[in-house]
Amino acid sequence: MHSEEQLSHLLTPVHFDGITLGKSADPAKDPDMIELNKLVYAYAELDEVDVEAVVDVDFLEQLDFACCSRWGLVIELMIRAFALCRMRGKDVATLKMFTKAYDRGSRLPKGLSPFTAPDYRDIFERAKLLEIINKT
């Protein structure tokens, strides 16, 4: 009976509010940008992966967009990207690793993602992107 209580606790849904970048005119002061940055570095530290060369404002905006402003999808993508780094014996994350991890989690053509398309905001509609992600 005690194990059922534990299982019930593990299956309790958790609700995250969406990521809302752009609250501040200065991206360095945007609360969600700061939180997203902290999250990337925290997961990277757990996996002992260096993200210094890849993380900047543009990358964080791409990450947000690619994951349709969903914290859970950001976490899933980071887990896939850092696992891919470690499986390949790498300890430095690259945009290429995030692109490959994104490829594995979406039904988009290989190599086509908000990480690779320079005008990704014009190419992708977030609602369609989320629909594609949810079908995988």
User: Tokens 């905006």 map to which residue?
Assistant: 61
Cα 90 to its chain centre, rounded Å, is 19
| Residue 4, domain member (yes or no) | no
Is residue 6 assigned to a domain? no
Q: Is 128 part of a structural domain of the chain?
A: yes
Query: Is 2 a residue whose pLDDT tops 70?
Result: no
Q: Does 24 map to a domain?
A: no
Reported as a pLDDT band with limits 50, 70 and 90, residue 7 is: confident
Q: Do residues 85 and 91 touch, judged by C-beta distance below 8 A?
A: yes
Q: Write out pLDDT tens, residues 26-79.
A: 877 889 999 999 999 999 999 999 999 999 999 999 999 999 999 999 999 999
Q: What are phi and psi of 26, to 5 degrees?
A: -100, 110
pLDDT tens-digit map of 88-116 = 999 999 999 999 999 887 878 887 889 99
Confidence class of residue 1 from pLDDT cuts 50, 70 and 90? very low
Contacts of residue 33, defined as CB under 8 A and 6 or more positions apart, other chains included, come to 21, 24, 27, 57, 60
CATH number of the domain enclosing 123: 1.10.8.60
The number of domains in the chain is: 1
d(CA 73, CA 19): 11
16 located within any domain: no
80 pLDDT tier (thresholds 50, 70, 90): very high
Three-state DSSP state, 19: coil
Token digits for 133? 């992600």
- 15 pLDDT band, cuts 50/70/90, is low
- For the whole prediction, is pTM greater than 0.95? no
For residue 11, is it within any domain?
no
At residue 82, does pLDDT exceed 90?
Answer: yes
pLDDT at 136: 58
Q: Which domain holds residue 123?
A: 29-134
For the record, the structure tokens of 110 come out as 């290989």
Answer for the pair 107, 136: CB distance below 8 angstroms, yes or no. yes
